[in-house]
Structure 1
Amino acid sequence: MVHTCVVAGCRNRRTPGTALSFYRFPRDPERKQRWIAAVNREGWVPNDGSRLCSTHFISGKQVKNPRSPDYVPSVFTPAPLSPEMKEPGSLEILDKQEARVEAANALLFLQGQGSSVRGERGQEEHPEEREQETAVEESASSSLSSDEDDDEDDESIDCKKGKFAPNTSDAAVNFDNVLKALKKENQTLRDSLDKMALSENSLRNDAEKVKFYTGLPNYFVLETVMWLLAPHMDGMKTVKLSKFQQLLLTLMRLRLDLRNQDLAYRFGVKVGTVTRTVHQMVNIMSSTLVPTAVFWPSRAELRKNLPVALRSSHPDCAVIIDCFMVPFEEPVSRGNHQQQQRVVASSQGGGTSYNVLKYLIGVAPQGVVTFVSRGVLGNVGDKSLAEGCGFLCKLLPGDCGVGESRSGHCRFCGCERSFV
């Protein structure tokens, strides 16, 4: 299809072998009105077949950057006085275009020299001058396809975006900076989230946090406990919680005495999952850690490492014992309402409690845990617990223990020192 330039007095046509480019009017309303005003044809409105040749642009081609002088056509020669005027040849048009490009390059060179001189003098460059230099640079270095199909596709994409995307190297550098800033911000948010979350990364380098939540001195000990328990946790079916989170949840339940609902909120699971996880982990820890870490030392080791403070007062001391209680949650229902009232009364000082487990723990004089009994309901006495938990079977003739008593006597059997 042969296109003719719509500018009055311009006789350029799109014919085979021509070096000219023909551009359709832009679809952006504001830019289109500026093109129509530049053509300056009274009462004329372009249609889909209207084209504008490249001779009406300073650099010989249109530029889609709004800061460029070729964003709107600006080169218009007066209409010829007589129809016998010769049509300019293609070589003449090319010479004019080359002259305009050379002029633009010369202007860019002069402006570059001026900016370097101002930089040497230490003067600050004005934003308006910088914008003009950028516009000239973009107009001199921009290269767009002259094919009208490519031009139409580019303009349709720009219209969908609502703006004209810059194609200069400066814009690419700006996008790289924005991408780097977004990546840095993303990493910062990830680090802050890891610090707030109850995960391995949040506890790895924070010994105080490990000690607060688990009671263990540092992360290395916690990791060692995890290494001992991991092979026995394969049968636990918990999709949302990892093995580390299951251990951490259990230790927080035992250490801080948190309610199951609180732990469910913290780890993002249901209350039933918390209850099941704690029950299974306590069983695994009891069967795995107690035989490994809790053992009764020989009498020779006890006598050899007996602290100096006990050698004069309790030279035959083998163990220091005490009882402690661990409360557990019990679902409230209509059937056990009376039982709950008894529990409340016992917690206020009247009667025994039925929602606690009682344990007997034995500690060697050196401070090592040597015995832990199985938990029984809280309505059992200390003496009955000591006699029925198997603790007495660990003692040898001549061994003595120290129990907690205000009178100084053993609160289990009433004697002053000896258990046997």
Structure 2
Amino acid sequence: MVHTCVVTGCRNRRTPGTGLSFYRFPRDPDRKQRWIEAVNREGWIPNDGSRLCSTHFISDFSPPVFPHAEMKEPGALEILDKQEDRVEAANALLFLQGQGSAAVGERLQEEHPEEKEQEAIVEESASSSLSTDDEDDDESVSDSKKGKFDAAVNFEDILKALKKENQALRESVEKMSLSENFLRNDAEKVKFYTGLPNYFVLETVMWLLAPHMDGMKNVRLSKFQQLLLTLMRLRLDLRNQDLAYRFGVKVGIVTRTVHQMVNIMSSTLVPTAVFWPSRAELRKNLPAALRTSHPDCAVIIDCFTVPFEEPVSRGNQQQHQQQQRAAATSQGAGTSHNVLKYLIGVAPQGVVTFVSRGVLGNVSDKTLAEGCGFLCKLLPGDIVLASRNLDIADSVAARGALFKIACSYQGETCGSSEGSQLADSSSEMVSVPRHVERVISMVKRRYAMLTGPVESPFTTASERTSNLSTFDKIVQVACALNNLCISAAPLE
């Protein structure tokens, strides 16, 4: 028998492939009367063959919808449908949070088994409320089952479960995000990402820098994240695009943050951690290796170089024109135009006490030492040690100090330029030549950005009032951070 929808104007009929369902009128008198009124055909009474197609139903449990149908008060099935919609919405929320509706169902079943049983009864009853020609059972819902539809789902317990799940998700995300909780109580993470020995030292650095970061306008990153981003740039030599992905910001924000933080650390952290100690402090903590041979040793110096990717800017070259002219007459071995050269001074105790600004690699050691302000730190009677001849003996002597070249191994003949003295070849001097090299190597291992090659934006002067480039400040900051670490390299 081919069934046709009885709704006025509807031409749907039961044919293969349409995908439509056709429903009998319910046997319950009240519901049947509501359907008849919704059909809105004057004087019409349905018979056993009367059918309604599925296009007139919002859902299987909702009352039929027809043209000119009057709004009726919601019945138990409608209330049940709304309740189920809310539960589905809650399930969808958890699914978006990564749990899935199955996890919610299991959780609710474990915490509220009586509700799960009640929902099963509701679903069983609702599935029998409407029948089609494809089903053998065409009985309408009974009065005994109909009463169970009025049992409301306990939304308060569901809400509690959702809040608990949400809190767990928040804690999980917080642990994975690059924030304080990501590093707190995990010294290995602190060392890996920042180079600092533990979270306490990192927190101290943050406390020192925070008051100077108020002017930095960055709504996407907290102050701690700005510091962490900069330390990761120095420590791991990560490119700006990589950091942008890690912190979820644009590359421009990373670039601006690194430059601003380097400027703040250069003006705040460097004077605190890299300073020339008094003579009394030097003698008080002088290592045993020098206490007998050179009790007046003030510093051990050397030069190191860092390659850069592109030639420095014209402005930076002009700053070094004088040094380049002086270097044109010198024949320093191992110098190059595509490297930056720095003079570093290390106290016998193993901390960096002086770092010069960078000059082009073809500038002589003498020109660098005489022009960077190092000589101004010396006092009459100080001894300056080095593992090789830097040709500054006369300049050091002009300050009333003494320049000595230490032997690289016991029994080696040590040479010196005019005005310098030969260093002793005793066992106490064996480790002196490698002392600065060890400190330089430690700083470069701790902050890989110092191994180069340096990107060109870092080689230009960062401020008009300063002849220091951003990378000059980075070198100084790296030395300051190294001084904060417990693993300084004392002279043995």
Q: TM-score range by the shorter chain?
A: 0.5 to 0.7
From 35, 38, 48, give the equivalent of 2:34. Answer: 48
From 373, 376, 380, give the equivalent of 2:356. Answer: 373
Residues 76, 149 of structure 2: 8 Å contact kept: no
The answer to which structure, 1 or 2, has the higher relative contact order (CA under 8 A, 6+ apart) is: 2
Match of 2:78 in 1: 156
From 270, 277, 280, give the equivalent of 1:300. Answer: 280
Matches within 5 A, 1:145-294: 152-159=74-81, 161=84, 168=151, 171-172=153-154, 178-294=158-274
The alignment of Structure 1 onto Structure 2 pairs a total of residues equal to: 267
From 336, 342, 365, give the equivalent of 1:352. Answer: 336
Deviations 1:36-56 (A, max 9, x none): 2x88xxxxx9322889xxxxx
| CA apart distance, 1:202 | 0.9
Over 3 Å counting, the alpha-carbon distance change for 1:240 and 1:35 in structure 2 is same
Q: Which protein has the larger Cα radius of gyration, Structure 1 or Structure 2?
A: 1
Over 3 Å counting, the alpha-carbon distance change for 1:330 and 1:158 in structure 2 is farther
Matched, 1:386 2:372: no
Match of 1:401 in 2: 384
Residues 203, 210 of structure 1: 8 Å contact kept: yes
Over 3 Å counting, the alpha-carbon distance change for 1:221 and 1:185 in structure 2 is same
Residues 319, 400 of structure 1: 8 Å contact kept: yes
Deviations 1:231-288 (A, max 9, x none): 2222223332222222111111112222222222212223232222222221211111
- In 2, Cα distance between equivalents of 1:272 and 1:415: 54
Matches within 5 A, 1:20-59: 36=27, 46-48=32-34
Residues 76, 150 of structure 2: 8 Å contact kept: no
Over 3 Å counting, the alpha-carbon distance change for 1:378 and 1:223 in structure 2 is farther
- In 2, Cα distance between equivalents of 1:327 and 1:246: 27
Residues 403, 410 of structure 1: 8 Å contact kept: no
* Structure 1 counterpart SS, 2:299: strand
Deviations 1:92-138 (A, max 9, x none): xxxxxxxxxxxxxxxxxxxxxxxxxxxxxxxxxxxxxxxxxxxxxxx
Over 3 Å counting, the alpha-carbon distance change for 1:321 and 1:186 in structure 2 is farther
Instruction: Give the counterpart letter for 1:250 in structure 2.
Output: T
Q: Does 233-242 or 296-305 show the bigger shift?
A: 233-242
| CA apart distance, 1:293 | 2.4
- In 2, Cα distance between equivalents of 1:237 and 1:410: 56
| CA apart distance, 1:361 | 2.9
- In 1, Cα distance between equivalents of 2:264 and 2:279: 30
Over 3 Å counting, the alpha-carbon distance change for 1:318 and 1:233 in structure 2 is same
- In 2, Cα distance between equivalents of 1:218 and 1:245: 17
Matches within 5 A, 1:27-106: 36=27, 46-48=32-34
Instruction: Give the counterpart letter for 2:33 in structure 1.
Output: N
Match of 1:71 in 2: none
From 269, 273, 290, give the equivalent of 1:310. Answer: 290
Match of 2:454 in 1: none
Residues 402, 410 of structure 1: 8 Å contact kept: no
Residues 243, 254 of structure 2: 8 Å contact kept: yes
Over 3 Å counting, the alpha-carbon distance change for 1:177 and 1:244 in structure 2 is same
- In 2, Cα distance between equivalents of 1:210 and 1:387: 39
- In 2, Cα distance between equivalents of 1:404 and 1:152: 94
* Structure 2 counterpart SS, 1:152: coil
Residues 191, 197 of structure 2: 8 Å contact kept: yes
Match of 1:15 in 2: none
TM-score, normalized by length of structure 1? 0.52
* Structure 1 counterpart SS, 2:205: helix
| CA apart distance, 1:306 | 0.6
Deviations 1:9-45 (A, max 9, x none): xxxxxxxxxxxxxxxxxxxx99x97962x88xxxxx9
- In 2, Cα distance between equivalents of 1:290 and 1:232: 14
| CA apart distance, 1:382 | 4.0
Instruction: Give the counterpart letter for 2:300 in structure 1.
Output: I
Identity of aligned residues (%): 71
- In 1, Cα distance between equivalents of 2:383 and 2:79: 90
From 353, 357, 362, give the equivalent of 2:345. Answer: 362
Deviations 1:349-382 (A, max 9, x none): x97363x644333222223332222334455444
* Structure 2 counterpart SS, 1:240: coil
- In 1, Cα distance between equivalents of 2:417 and 2:174: 49
Residues 363, 369 of structure 1: 8 Å contact kept: yes
| CA apart distance, 1:398 | 2.6
- In 2, Cα distance between equivalents of 1:196 and 1:412: 59
TM-score, normalized by length of structure 2? 0.46
| CA apart distance, 1:217 | 1.8
Residues 246, 281 of structure 1: 8 Å contact kept: yes
- In 1, Cα distance between equivalents of 2:387 and 2:168: 52
Over 3 Å counting, the alpha-carbon distance change for 1:371 and 1:244 in structure 2 is same
